[in-house]
Structure 1
């Protein structure tokens, strides 16, 4: 899959502008020419993945920096505005995010419209293309509603004139009318696995796992239990060594379910995670072979260090304040000026070019599934059945398993385990929101009650200029 994306990147140029939700009118002549063969639809689907490559370079800002287990107060720019709940509705992060997701939706809608009447003799993988397009559209809408709340629900190509009348739809309707149906259809059409050249595409397991997360998010714990239990029977398994997840040698292993795929090579398919999440200390950069500067973003606070119990094998790679050199000496990171002294090693790998890291972003992996299943079982009054799934994750981390826990105690322990297992993978903020704890936890950091969603981009509000159709989120006017 990475090789395919690299080839496509040589020909595909992504563009963004300020037009409303990035929806263009369908040109029947051009689309009739472009969408005919198996290869045409293969390329079109890869084009949808490609926008995710751009969008997920900033997912840490929404999922990590916004929450309490990451901070960025060393410099005043977008990460600190997100961290301190001072982001304005005219920030480019918001407009770029909006445009990226609606570009994904536009492309997926066009594929689905064009492929509908194609015969399988011309497009042998028709079902798979439909499944991928729907999976990717569902993921885009899932992210959109978690970031912005109510959003326009567009499920077919529309004209620019029609787009100006697209209302912000209630979140519940987006879930029930798009996200869940798309994922149900995707899981019925996607393969369980791919030949090696296509590894990295969405699979049946990815659709089931994401659907389980969707059900958990909307508190349909029974459906979440059912769907996540199905994932446990598909051959996934935890890697024996937690650290192996972050060595980025073989990223498509038994714990892999779905990543956003990145590749180094100087053609725009790498990311800045390694540079962004590394301190500015030149000794550290040289020791790990990181080309370019460190940017001191997404730093762990001291309270996260303290949450890890003695013997937890995840601690060293998750949170650090120094490194052990080739002589076995511990070299602490000493902050100077506004520089941070703490960092995560989860994306710390050698890079040949600054801002061109090949580290994938893990959208969902098997440990996440196990912890979600434990949570769903516990909420369904099955604490004894939930504990073994939680213990699989703990025991891989070198910790003793739990036993004989009541529902309330187990709930808090599952929440804690998600923090320890999934830190800096974009989950903490969304976990706080979906469990109703965001304001309680984040008020001391500057959160106000309305800030469980981000402001809608000001440019989108202005271009419609009709609050009855497209209002700003409360509190952000």
Structure 2
């Protein structure tokens, strides 16, 4: 997707150049009236259209942490001026919340674009579209990812698998979660894994791969508690050549290539002054000059998404991930000469170090959002093995992740003890990577863990955005989620 973003910029620059240098565009058909026969003819036409499917995910995953992490127990909003984030943190959830509306629109924009590609490529001649299978695989992978996130966030949602008109859309009700999984997500991922390549070279590195489709499908099966299928699918991923990086810190060292042996699928951002980077380096940084200067940031720190005090206590003394992942402001920083830089918190008292990348411009970071990486696969595989009664095998897999972290291997645990250790390992390994909330929900622990923070029983899903309720304006076919009326 790194190259996808570059191509999108190139296309925009070409268009702007045409408009500024020539008058013949005045006599052309307006873009809004161009037929699909004109738009979808060549292999490159479809490649460009697939690139367009990736684009809404860039906007969506900038704020995915607000749902995947801020609602859970390892992340909190200490900076009180960000009222929406404080409300999310405290389960004051409104159907007019901005992140819910933008999430709905982003995902359905991606779905619309995927449906458009798939409807046009279906009858395309493979002889003239040599990468037809790859285009289909990418479109289906991205559509499945969008729907997977949608059902985990909102529950029942409209399942739309082909282009529809505005009047048809206005009458489309919500489909059951089970239907969306069975009739679209799983089928799309099975087809995607059969069509996508295992790897790419050169400029195409960063696109969805066969391994990404298998890994996401394994997560889908795990979410649905189909542990037998989850085990089988995740085992396939472990045979595809992926490997943990020896050094956990290398995952977060942005002077190095993010496409390494542990990489499976990221939402990819690029720096360079074009506004195509992520905001992570700024939004998670304390607004303190010593920290901003130390990490080579530009602009102000947002002071968002702080690690909770409880999280600090969970790491074992030898765990290398703690110092790499989280820090207290009051502990200061050790500069490159070994000197302590003392600091006093202004607002946020703790922060994550995972996304600190040197910047050319503010809010334009090269730090990607890791949707799936190999450690996630190993921990899911260990969980599936354990739930299938294979606890000894599960611990062997779990210990691969623990060994990299520098903590002792676990042996001789019961199934229940192993389950708790696997859950804990996911917290420590993947803090602030968008997993914790969904892990709590899918394992049935969300209410017990988060009730003290304000969660109520109905809050395992979020409200449908008010704007969508108002568009349909018919609770018989498009009701609000219970508890949010």
Q: TM-score, normalised by structure 2?
A: 0.93
Q: Which of 369, 376, 379 is 2:377 aligned to?
A: 369
The residue number in structure 1 matching 2:69 is 64
The residue number in structure 1 matching 2:367 is 359
- Deviation string for 1:417-457 (max 9, x for gaps)? 00000001110001000000000000011111111111110
Give the deviation of 1:332 after TM superposition: 4.5
The residue number in structure 2 matching 1:258 is 265
Give the deviation of 1:164 after TM superposition: 1.1
Distance in 1, matches of 2:198 and 2:130, equals 17
Distance in 1, matches of 2:251 and 2:34, equals 47
The residue number in structure 2 matching 1:86 is 92
The residue number in structure 2 matching 1:386 is 394
The 5 Å alignment of 1:419-458 reads 419-458=427-466
CA contact (8 A) 2:269 2:276 kept: yes
Q: Which of 77, 89, 108 is 1:102 aligned to?
A: 108
Pick closer, same or farther for the CA change 1:463–1:391 going to 2, 3 Å: same
The residue number in structure 1 matching 2:79 is 74
The residue number in structure 2 matching 1:302 is 309
Unaligned ranges ≥5, structure 2: 14-30
The residue number in structure 1 matching 2:131 is 125
Q: Residue 320 of structure 1 aligns to a residue in which SS?
A: strand
Distance in 1, matches of 2:312 and 2:279, equals 24
The residue number in structure 2 matching 1:331 is 341
Distance in 1, matches of 2:359 and 2:456, equals 40
Distance in 2, matches of 1:32 and 1:92, equals 37
CA contact (8 A) 1:333 1:341 kept: no
* 2:330 is equivalent to residue 320 of structure 1: no
Distance in 1, matches of 2:482 and 2:416, equals 33
* 2:189 is equivalent to residue 183 of structure 1: yes
Distance in 2, matches of 1:5 and 1:216, equals 32
* 2:424 is equivalent to residue 402 of structure 1: no
Give the deviation of 1:90 after TM superposition: 1.0
CA contact (8 A) 1:90 1:459 kept: yes
Q: Residue 474 of structure 1 aligns to a residue in which SS?
A: coil
CA contact (8 A) 2:3 2:206 kept: no
Give the deviation of 1:52 after TM superposition: 0.7
* 2:9 is equivalent to residue 9 of structure 1: yes
* 2:272 is equivalent to residue 293 of structure 1: no
Q: Which runs of 4+ in 1 moved over 6 A?
A: none
The 5 Å alignment of 1:3-42 reads 3-11=3-11, 30-42=35-47
Give the deviation of 1:171 after TM superposition: 0.5
Q: Residue 351 of structure 2 aligns to a residue in which SS?
A: coil
Give the deviation of 1:12 after TM superposition: 5.4
Give the deviation of 1:108 after TM superposition: 0.2
Distance in 1, matches of 2:377 and 2:57, equals 22
Q: Which of 155, 170, 173 is 1:149 aligned to?
A: 155
* 2:221 is equivalent to residue 215 of structure 1: yes
The residue number in structure 1 matching 2:18 is none
Pick closer, same or farther for the CA change 1:448–1:200 going to 2, 3 Å: same
The residue number in structure 2 matching 1:206 is 212
- Deviation string for 1:4-55 (max 9, x for gaps)? 4123135459xxxxxxxxxxxx989521110110000000001111111111
- Deviation string for 1:169-212 (max 9, x for gaps)? 11111101100000000000000011221000000000000000
The 5 Å alignment of 1:215-234 reads 215-234=221-240
The number of residues matched between the two structures is: 463
Unaligned ranges ≥5, structure 1: 14-25
